[in-house]
Amino acid sequence: MPTDPGPEETPESTGSIKDLILEQEEAASLIKNRSLLEPNEIVDEERIVGRDSQLTDITQHLRVAISNERPPNLFLYGPSGTGKSLIINAVCSNILELCESRDIRFGVVQMNCQNVGTLGSAVYELSRKVANDVGATVEVPEHGIPNKKKWRELYRLINEHYDTVVFILDELDMLVGRRDMEEPAFSRLLYQLSRAGSTDEITAQVSVTAITNDTKMMENVGSRALSSFTPEDVHFSDYDANQLREILWAREDAFHEGALSNDVIPLAAAFAAQTNGDARKAIDLMRTAGSIAEKANADQVREEHIREAQDKVEKNRVLEVTRGISTQKKLCLFATAAVARETGGAAKSPLGYRVYQYLTGTLDADQYHQETYVNKMKELTTYSLVETERKSQGPHSGSYLEFTFGENPNTIIETLREDSRLKDVHVDELRTVVRAQINQ
């Protein structure tokens, strides 16, 4: 009687997956410390480059916490990737250590506001972060209760566990909240947090640091919040190519010795300098190029790996930004990028709007007035994807907005075309329409 041969041996059952993992580990011989290639990694202070004045200012403002005094509120603003989060986190990390040595209960609670949504969600998320920091439990539900009860829970947690707490609200301008409210959610959040110390509900000392890429955010803060927040402003300007090179040289030991060809860091810095001097992009380029080189079993990271990484990083960034925006914003962005691609990088708002009209007509989509188109494009500036500048057409011809892009317009168009609605746009016909509008 034939015996059962048992399950057929496969590469998986012989352990070859483990062998494959070990082989890949051995092949990954270029990157030594991947954490140094994470843009948000809190690095040693000797690796912080080009931000001496901002570091001095923030340290001066926050140092009073080590004497158990309340630090002032701060407003950190400037383009994406210019060191705002890096510096505030580095300073707070050191203050935390000094306070621990003096038995001062100092807390740092950081929240990125990009995907929070509403004021109620923000308050609950802050309570959750405080509870995680101190090993406590949030005692109210996330949904189904008024915001007032969420605020009381946040105050309870703060009072029981902190002498002083610094709330770091990153990308605060993205916390817009419900459109039917007269005051944006970020303004109401600032008001409640900054006035907390002057009420009977809280005994701990509260300081708020607002971080934004939008230099005009404070113009949308309500009068009550402006009166109670009154921050110290710290501006972060673009890094230049020399500073970006220094930043990358300071992280060179993320790679094994000899793993980088001489032209890699200057090229990565040059690419990043073209995108608002974004240090995050420079670091991301190095990480991506290293991974590409390792996958190709190269013995060094070379220029071609940086160039390939540039294309990949640009597309990933556009994908990240456009994934969560509305179809109407995508149409506005697509039309404007189509104009910028033909003009060499800039698009006048009247031209962009006419191409937007063509797109909405072709796709049978809702079409809005030019003012709405312009407003939607201005909203996209908060993502550091597009910049606006008002230009004059002459003394008797009025003015217009000019849009310029931080990324290659062609990359934006190719990425947006992955949306099923925009796949129906005929590329050659679009180019013909854009060129006709430009030549009018």
Question: Residue ranges for the binding site?
Answer: 82-86, 239, 251
Distance CA 319, CA 375 (A): 21
Phi-psi category of residue 72: left, alpha or beta, with phi > 0 → left and psi -120 to 50 → alpha: beta
Is the separation of the CB atoms in 228 and 194 below 8 Å? yes
Annotated binding site for ATP: 82-86, 239, 251
Closest CA to 76 of 212, 226, 222, 225: 212
Is the separation of the CB atoms in 385 and 320 below 8 Å? no
Report which secondary-structure segment, H or E, holds 268. Answer: helix 264-273
Is the separation of the CB atoms in 83 and 126 below 8 Å? no
Distance CA 317, CA 339 (A): 21
Report which secondary-structure segment, H or E, holds 411. Answer: helix 409-416
CB contact set of 395 (below 8 Å; sequence gap of 6+): none
CB contact set of 258 (below 8 Å; sequence gap of 6+): 300
Strands of the sheet with 399-405, listed across from one edge: 346-348, 399-405, 386-392
Residue 12 DSSP symbol: T
